[in-house]
Every structure is written in C-alpha cells, then in structure tokens.
Amino acid sequence: MNRYLISLAAIICAIGAWAYDGTKLWLPQQATGGTSPEITSPKSKDSVVAVAVGELRDSWHGAPVKMVLKKDKALGRDGFRIIPSEGGLTLSASEPSGLLYGAYYLLRKQDSGQSVDTEITDVPRYDLRILNHWDNLDGTIERGYAGHSLWKWDELPDVESPRYREYARVNASIGINGTVLNNVNASSKILSHDYLLKVAKLADIFRHYGIRVYLSVNFASPMQLDGLSTADPLDKGVAKWWKNKADEVYSLIPDFGGFLVKANSEGQPGPCDFGRSHADGANMLAEALKPHGGIVMWRSFVYSPSDPDRAKQAYVEFEPLDGQFAPNVIVQIKNGPVDFQPREPYSPLFGAMPATKQMAEFQVTQEYLGHSNHIAYLAPMWKEFFEYVSPESISAVAGVANVGDDSNWTGHPFAQANWYAFGRLAWNPDEDASTIAREWLELTVVEDDMPENVKSGLVDMMVTSREAVVDYMMPMGLHHLFAFGHHYGPEPWCDVPGARPDWLPKYYHRADSAGLGFDRTLSGSGAVSQYPDSLAGVLNDADQCPEEFLLWFHHVPWNKTLKSGDTMWNTLCRHYESGYDAVKRYQSVWDSAKPYVDEALHQDVSRRLIAQARDARWWKDACLLYFQQYSNMPFPKDVEAPEHTLDAMKKVNLGITNYESPSMDSLDAVR
Ligand code: GCW
C-alpha cells in the first residue's frame, strides 16, 4: 500500500467514536489521540496561514506536510498544488488563501476516505465565489427557512457569537470567499456609521478565513440617511456622498469587497427613478469604490412592463446597455429569465452582453422547491445551467444562502448539501453532481459501516430529488403555479384582486380548452428570439423543443401527440405521478439507511419525508384536478386517482403570509 494512502481504518482509530452532529456540518473532526504528523508552516505572520496550519495540526493524520508560500502564476490567487514525495506532501500556493484551500482539500479527502497519492493542482474557476444573504436588520430572513439571521445586530460589535467564526470556517472549507451580509431589499441603515462598526467586526473575524464582506445597498441611501434631495446618479452631490461613504467603509474595513444592488425592481429605488439608466447608477457607485479596489454587483432582476412577457423584460432592459458598464461592475443575473423556478431555461441575457462582465445568481435557499421540508438537491439544476452557459463565459457566481441560526444551520439536514454543493461548484463547475453528493454524505450523514448499496441508494435519492420536485410541482416547463406570497403550495387557480398579473399562476400556465402553456414562439411573445439563432429555432418548434421546456415556450393542445407517442395530457399526468412515486421511494431508501445513520437524524429526515410525500400528493391532485377542467380528458390508468377533491384543495389555507414557511404541525393540521 502506498505510504500516503489514507486508510479509513486509521482515521476511525484516530478519531474514535463518530456521531452525526448537524451543527458541525462537513467540517473536519478533530483528532483525539494518535500521533500527529509534522506540519511545517511557511515563514509568514498572515493569520490565514495560521488558520491553515492549525487545521492540519488539529485534524490531519496522513503524511507530514510541508507548506510553502511562493509566487506561481499558474495558481492564481486561491489555487494550490500538492506534490507527494518520499518525505511527505508539499502543499504550495501563491497566497495564504491557497494554503487554506489546500489544507481543506487534504482534510476533505481524508474524511471521505480518499487517498492523496498523486500530484494535484487545483485552481478555482472563479475569483469571486460569494453567498448572498437575504437577511434583514431585524433578524428575519427573506425566503429563509432555517431560523433567524446568524448576524445578531443588536449585540454587535460588542458580543462575538462563536458561530461567526464557524460560519467563516465552513465557507472557507468549500472555497467560498465572499459574503453579502444583508438583503438586496436593503435598508439604508446598513451604511450608517453604527452599523458599519458592526459590519467591521464581522469582517475582522471572516478575514482569517479568506472571506471578504460585501453589502447590499439601497440606492436612495443618500436621501434616506442624510436627507439629500435626490439620489440621481448624475448629481455631483450624490456622487460625492457615495465617495465619502466608500471612504468611510474602507477606513473601517480595508479589504471590503463592494456593493450588491437591487435597483428599480419590486419597489426598490434606482437610477431609473431619476430618468437615468442602470449603467449610470452602477457606474457612479463603481467610481466611488474604484480607488479602493471594490466592485459593484448590479442585479438584472428587473421586470418593469417593457414587454408583455415578463420572461423577456430583463433582457429588454439590459441588453442595450452592453458595453456601458465600468470595468469594476458585474451584472448579476438569475439563472433563469423569470425567478428561480424549479426549472427554467437559462436566462438569454447570458452571452448577450459580450462587452459586459456577468455573474450567475443561483438560489440555494429553497424558496420554490419545498422550503426546508423537501429534499431537493440542487447541484443537478446548477449543472444543467452550465450545460447551456459555458462556465468560461461568466466572471463569478453567487448563491442566495439557505443558512440561518437553526442548530443544524439549514433546517432540513439534506439542505446542508446544497450549501456544500454550491461552494464546490463555484470552485469548479465541472465537478459531477453525484460525486459531490457522495462526498457530502461521506463527510456528514453516513456512518462507516454503511453498505455500498445503501450508500448509492442515498446518492441516487439526492441526485434525482430535484427532478422529482419538478415532476410533482410543475413539469414540462410549467412555472409559477405557486400560492401567492409564501411560494410553498399549489394554487394554479390563484386570483388576487388588484395583484400584478405576472405574480399570478394563470398568467404563466394559460390553461384553456385549447391547451396549456405560454406561447413564447415567434408567433407568440417572441421570447425564443432572445436566444442564439441555433437554439431559438429548436425552442420555437414544438416538435423539437425539449419536453422539459415545452410548456414554457408553447401553448400545447391537450391531445397533441408527443415524442413518447402519448398525448400531452397523459404525459403531464405521468410526470406528476412520477414525482409523487419518487418521494415514496425515497421513504424506503431512507428506511434502509436507518441502521447506519444517527437515530435523531433518521427521525428528523423521516418526518420531513412524510410531509414531502403528502405535499407531492397535494401538488399532484391540485394541479391535475384543476387542469382536467380544461383538458376534459380522463387520467391514464397507471396514474393513481386523486385522493382529494378540487374544492378541498382550494380551501387549503396554511395560515401563513408572505415569506413565511409552514410548520410541520400546521401542515399536519391542514392535510
Ligand atoms: O424570488 C423573488 C423573491 C423575493 C426576492 C426577489 C429578488 C429579495 O420572491 O423575495 O426579494 O425575488 O430576487 O429580489
């Protein structure tokens, strides 16, 4: 056996009894007993180096490691190289952060039972791998399903919660190097001096783990904080205000990352309020940050009625601005053109602004995928995005965090895997979704005596789970069939007097006696024409359009025969059934894992799977019964007849409002 092969047995001896603890996530377990190998650190006073050395000294049981800091262009800022030799391993990097990522790499390999016996060079695809917290200053989290915000603003800067350091460590261990602390629906208060002191305290802690802090800013801050009469980006006084504010921020936080901005979207102020463009607004902020090396991440999530089809609006507003943004502005674009639906085609803005830096915004929190009650492993969704948008064509990735102050951080234990997978894919989008799932399982849930067939059952459950959610919620390109406000359950019938039509399901599904789906072809809204010609042609033709996007781009007759040889209606029914069946299957997969996972964890996930199966049934019954009113066709024989009536489904009231998530007890009571 190669002397650097890390044997699982040795690790077990060294670590001793292993028990799942949701609070520790996938972090390296500290060694208890055994002899530690020699870790030689480079001569450096940098605190990031000290953390890297400390991690290996605490938890590494393999060969001796020599850590070397030397400039190497090929490694960029965060990359590292590991070279095994007779005397041990050499871990080298250009910068301290590279050593830290190298240390976590070694520990990940060790803790998931893999060997490090060949030379490896690992360089992240993106320099900026960032989490976006939608945390409000009152401690609530918009679309957060894991408790309250981790940031205890009332206690900061005096009280330092131990979780701040853990948070930074967890992120660093998966390569995340930036965090936007507050909601894009931003309170201007975050830029007040008192709050900046609190932010500075967090930045002081995160810095040791190579994590930079960024803030979401409210475009009207000069008016709201200091009573300026305008926030017009071309006004000299406004520009000066931002310049002074940036200077103040950097005097407190020298490595501050920059601003994230949601402007002229869903009621947020922005440059368009003053007759200026998004580029005018972004560039004015960019100018203020430039002397300090800061950046502006300017969101393209806008949908003012520039076109009757909401899916076209961001493109209509942003594409003409190509080439107008300053070099330190990155346009941050949601993966799909509407809004984080269980499945969307990619946003056509990607690739449509060749002279503009772009970054992708993924949603890690499961706003539209069952909150923290459903298993929905999202790596396959993000990989699907990268099948259409080449990783090289964008500059960075951001993920809307699913983290709160729940003891296990994410609510659903399996939602931890989404945080993990986001970091791993932000580092390397070519990683395989099932490899990441297996790795996460090995590092967290799985005990060492679990047989391979049980383990692969769990991997399979994770990898298929997002498709299952798509199937029981909105298959074949359906989207936004959600209940108004909380986005948890089905309400394809939803009508809220006075609400924007494009916030209501009927706007999207367009069910009528002729068929189902949104006609976005050239003879419909024309959204297909925003895609490159070769793809637009395929999407425009109902016979060629991939089935998973069919009802996104076409209004399809109920009895149209699809590629499968069956009608659209029958195919739709079978998708709903298959999603529901998958969740029932997951229940038995999880049961088979019972002897090999922690008992409390097993119970927790089992309970959530019961809720998920019931919800899948609820979705299936509600949507199929509702659509059947228009199709007037019977359910195929292999689809289980609905358990509920449409009237009963329409009466379901979870008793929750905007942004809230139903509790398990309230779900038990209504279904
Ligand atoms: O997905 C929608 C959410 C809003 C969110 C908005 C956005 C932060 O329902 O809660 O606001 O998108 O991304 O700005």
Out of 180, 185, 219, mutate this one to test ligand 1's pocket (max ligand atoms within 8 Å of CB): namely 185
The pLDDT value given to residue 19: 62
The pLDDT value given to residue 24: 93
Q: Tokens 């025969």 identify what position? A: 561
The pLDDT value given to residue 14: 39
Neighbours of 252 (CB within 10 A): 15
Full DSSP string of 22-48:
GGGTTPPPPP-SSPPPPEEPPS---HH
Alpha helices (H) along 320-415 = 379-388
pLDDT (tens digit, 9 = 90+) per residue, 561-586? 999 899 999 999 999 999 999 999 99
Residue 185 CA, closest ligand 1 atom number: 8
359 within 8 A of 337, measured Cβ to Cβ: no
Whether residue 142 has its Cβ less than 6 Å from ligand 1: yes
Nearest CA to ligand 1 atom 7: 301
Answer yes or no: is pLDDT of 6 > 90: no
Out of 266, 313, 659, mutate this one to test ligand 1's pocket (max ligand atoms within 8 Å of CB): namely 266
pTM of the model: 0.96
Amino acid at 449: D
384 is catalytic: no
Residue 556 backbone phi and psi in degrees, to 5: -105, 130
Alpha helices (H) along 60-123 = 96-111
| 12 pLDDT tier (thresholds 50, 70, 90) | very low
Here the tokens at position 510 are 């367009």
Would you give the DSSP letter of residue 509? H
| 669 pLDDT tier (thresholds 50, 70, 90) | low
Cα–Cα distance, 312 to 308 (Å, whole number)? 8
The share of the chain scoring above pLDDT 90, in percent, equals 88
Would you give the DSSP letter of residue 392? G
Here the tokens at position 67 are 């850590």
Distance in Å from the first CA to the final CA of the chain: 57
Q: Which of 317, 312, 376, 383 is nearest to 348 (CA)?
A: 312
Average pLDDT, the chain: 94
pLDDT (tens digit, 9 = 90+) per residue, 355-376? 999 999 999 999 999 999 999 9
| 655 pLDDT tier (thresholds 50, 70, 90) | confident
Whether residue 340 has its Cβ less than 6 Å from ligand 1: yes
pLDDT (tens digit, 9 = 90+) per residue, 401-429? 999 999 999 999 999 999 999 999 999 99
Whether residue 134 has its Cβ less than 6 Å from ligand 1: yes
Cα–Cα distance, 70 to 138 (Å, whole number)? 45
Cα–Cα distance, 464 to 458 (Å, whole number)? 10
- Which helix or strand (DSSP H or E) is residue 180 part of? strand 178-180
pLDDT (tens digit, 9 = 90+) per residue, 46-83? 999 999 999 999 999 999 999 999 999 999 999 999 99
339 is catalytic: yes
pLDDT (tens digit, 9 = 90+) per residue, 220-238? 999 999 999 999 999 999 9
- Counting Cβ atoms within 10 Å, is residue 478 exposed (0-12), middle (13-18) or buried (19+)? buried
CA 338 → CA 68, 299, 449, distances in Å?
Answer: 47, 13, 45
Helices (H) and strands (E) in the chain, counts: 20, 15
Cα–Cα distance, 536 to 384 (Å, whole number)? 18
142 is catalytic: no
Answer yes or no: is pLDDT of 4 > 60: no
